[in-house]
Chain A
Amino acid sequence: MTDLAISSSGLTKRFRSGQVAVNAIDLAVPTGAVYGFLGPNGSGKTTTIRLLLGLIRPTAGDHSLLGEPMPRGAAQVLPRVGAIVEGPAFHPYLSGLDNLRRLDAADRTVDARTTSARIGAALDRVGLRAAADKRYHHYSLGMRQRLAIAAALLRPRDLLLLDEPTNGLDPQGTREVRALLLELAQAGSTVLLSTHLLSEVEQICTHVGVMHLGRLVAQAPLPELRARTAPRGAVRTPDPDGATRVMTERGLTEVAAVGDLVTGVLNGVVPEALVAALVHGDVPVRGFEVLAGNLEEMFVELTGEGFDVSG
């Protein structure tokens, strides 16, 4: 028995071209988490989701979903998994409704008698009921995205793997989808949300995994990551040893000196009080600065680039 909804060890995908799209990643997504799978475009997020669903075979490593080893357990576990992979894809000349019917018909574990009710409920959830009879061809990108979400919600799911579900949605639609994801998580589903939007992660995720060039460079609960980016005090002084001593005494942690610059996590210590303490302790202060922690800086540090840049 495992409490991980998704776990992988050494999961690797090397394409025939030689490109290593996913490089030995060890995912650990706890059951009930909303896991923000964050990374620049081209960092391997979508390839990872394909691997998780068994659409492509790993070059090395293995993984399990909801405790079932994959791909062996695909027939048992995938009905409990809803997914969006690399954007919506439907038959253009069928209506949204007929596309959902086709997907439902393909699922041999559902009761055909409940099809209409389940499809209706899914369409209502994404606000697409009014356009259900239109051909998919005529849908806007936002409507297509909504239909893909509806397809992932055709039945109750224990796990949702969603690849950029808010892509193409207007701000109102984006808010609706985020609210929907929170609602699903509260109802007990585990959600893996692949995105390149940091704000999305900060708003709704409990856990974060950061991908960069095919590697999982960070993975932690969001509060833990936030703690890593807590505000730091930075003192410029000719007496780094004295400053280190005073700062540690005042309750700062992770105090480190580099040349004449000493930094430490403030942990709630008021900056001006710290400066006063330094002066009283006969530590000459040439400069003082509060380095505001922010997730974005940390991610840029981890990935070495902004989030709009293709890796």
Chain B
Amino acid sequence: MSAAEVAPGGQQVPARARRPVPARFFRSELWLIFGRRRNWVGGLILISVPVILAIAVRASPHGGGESAPFLDRITGNGLFVALAALVLEMPLFLPIAVAAIAGDSLAGEANLGTLRYLLAVPVDRARLVLVKLGGIVVFTVAATFLVAGVGALLGLALFGGGPLVTLSGSTVPFGEGAGRLLLICGYVALCMVALGAIGLFISSLTEQPIAATTATLIVALASQIMDQIPQLSAIGPYLPTHHWLAFGDLLRDPIGFDGVRPGAASALVYLAVFGTAAWARFAGRDVGA
């Protein structure tokens, strides 16, 4: 019997079907995330911020008192709706969205019991962690660009485009302004992906997705609170949220990277450390549910 070489039923397994991370399973993972009604509702909540913002500013362009960052610039250039929306959503709304997906990633499957059936297929555990992380990355990037995209389109429709006034006071052409917005989106997405990696790790510890989501969110909020305490300034730069809003330099003339460079480095380190930790934890875990 040469059962080892021939698959059951005599089907020969085509060698090219053995890709390291088969596209089919990854597509299935994306379908799981983007086909879920709950996540569409979340997306609607995310885009409600730029929508409300744009309409509010349009309705009364001369709001008095202290305003959120970039808000006073919206009437000058619609792209600032996207920037203001990102700044408003970074502390809470985007982290909630990322925590919901990341917390659900492994713990959700464990909770439903589908995890045991995936592992019995078999899906290699490292591969599963990789696919889950990939799903989190795609969702996070999509959520960030959704907020910025809706904000930019609505802003341009209501306030027009044209050259962008940088934070240094000079103006850059619209194309370059839009390019800088894309850079900022990339940076914000990277910061959120780092939070997603923390969420993935927490999700590997439990079989309760809600608990994993809550814990991930608490990490994001606690980090921001600790960052506000002067006595803790020594650890401040190492907190996962410390550099989140450091993308202002990308709007100066000439463009600066002094703020985002350590931020990007910090995010990549968090991504690597917690991605690895999730794998290490998950690889040896008993799947009892």
CB-based contact B8/A106 at 8 Å: no
List the A residue with the shortest CB-CB distance to B10: A156
- A105 and B3 form a contact (CB under 8 A): no
Which segment of A48-56, A227-235, A239-247, A300-308 sits at the interface? Answer: A48-56
Interface residue A179 (Cβ < 8 Å from any Cβ of B)? no
A129 interface residue (CB < 8 Å to B): no
B113 in contact with A79 (CB, 8 Å): no
Contact A105 B25 (CB under 8 A): yes
Q: How far is the CA of A92 from the CA of B113 in the complex (A)?
A: 11
Among B17, B27, B113, B119, the residue within 8 A (CB) of A53 is B119
Quote the shortest CB–CB distance from A102 to chain B (angstroms): 5
Instruction: Give bound CA distance, A264 to B281, whole Å.
Output: 59
Contact, CB under 8 Å: A55 / B28: no
**Which residues of chain A are within 8 angstroms of B14 by Cβ–Cβ distance?**
111
| Chain A residues, Cβ within 8 Å of B122 | 54, 74-75, 78-79
A108 near B120 with CB under 8 A, answer no
Is A112 an interface residue, CB under 8 A from the partner? yes
As a 0/1 sequence over residues 160 to 173 of chain A, the CB contacts with chain B under 8 angstroms (1 = contact) are 00000000000000
- CB-based contact A55/B121 at 8 Å: no
Which residue of B is nearest A52, CB measured? B120
Interface size range on A against B:
35 or more
Bound Cα distance from A144 to B32, whole angstroms: 19
Contact check, A89 vs B17: say whether CB atoms are below 8 A apart: no
Which residues in chain A, 282-308, are within 8 Å of chain B measured between CB atoms?
Answer: none
Are B116 and A92 in touch, CB under 8 angstroms? no
Tell me the bound Cα distance from A108 to B130 in angstroms.
15
- Interface hits, B100-147 → A, CB 8 Å: 112-114, 116-124
- Do the beta carbons of B113 and A89 come within 8 Å of each other? yes
Given A78-B122, A108-B19, also A155-B117 (CB < 8 A): no
Q: A55-B116, A79-B122 are in contact. Are A106 and B28 (CB under 8 A)?
A: yes
B36→A93 contact, CB < 8 A: yes
Q: Is the CB of B27 within 8 A of A151?
A: no
Q: How far is the CB of B115 from chain A (nearest CB, A)?
A: 8
Pairwise interchain contact B3-A110, C-beta atoms closer than 8 A: no
- A139 at interface by CB-CB < 8 Å: no
Shortest CB–CB separation between residue A284 and chain B, in angstroms?
Answer: 62
The answer to whether A56 and B288 touch (CB under 8 A), given A105-B25, A106-B121, is yes
Contacting pair A107 B116 (CB below 8 A)? no
**A91 within 8 A of partner (CB):** yes
- Contact (Cβ within 8 A) B118 A103: yes
* Assembled-state Cα–Cα distance A91/B36 (Å): 11
Residue pair B120, A55 in contact (C-beta under 8 Å)? yes
The answer to whether B25 touches A90 (Cβ under 8 A) is no
- Which residues, 26 to 76 on B, are CB-close (under 8 Å) to A? 27-28, 31-32, 35-37
CB neighbours of B8 from chain A (8 A): 79-80, 155-158
- Is B13 part of the contact surface with A, judged by Cβ < 8 Å? yes
Are B9 and A156 in contact (CB-based, < 8 A)?
A: yes
* Cβ-based interface call for A83 (8 A): yes
25 contacts between A and B (CB under 8 A): A50-B116, A53-B120, A54-B119, A55-B119, A55-B287, A57-B284, A57-B286, A68-B4, A75-B122, A75-B124, A76-B4, A78-B122, A83-B117, A85-B117, A87-B113, A89-B114, A90-B114, A93-B36, A93-B37, A102-B28, A106-B121, A108-B18, A108-B22, A109-B18, A110-B13
Q: B-contacting residues of A (Cβ < 8 Å)? A: 1, 50, 53-57, 66-68, 74-76, 78-81, 83, 85-87, 89-94, 98, 101-103, 105-112, 151, 155-158
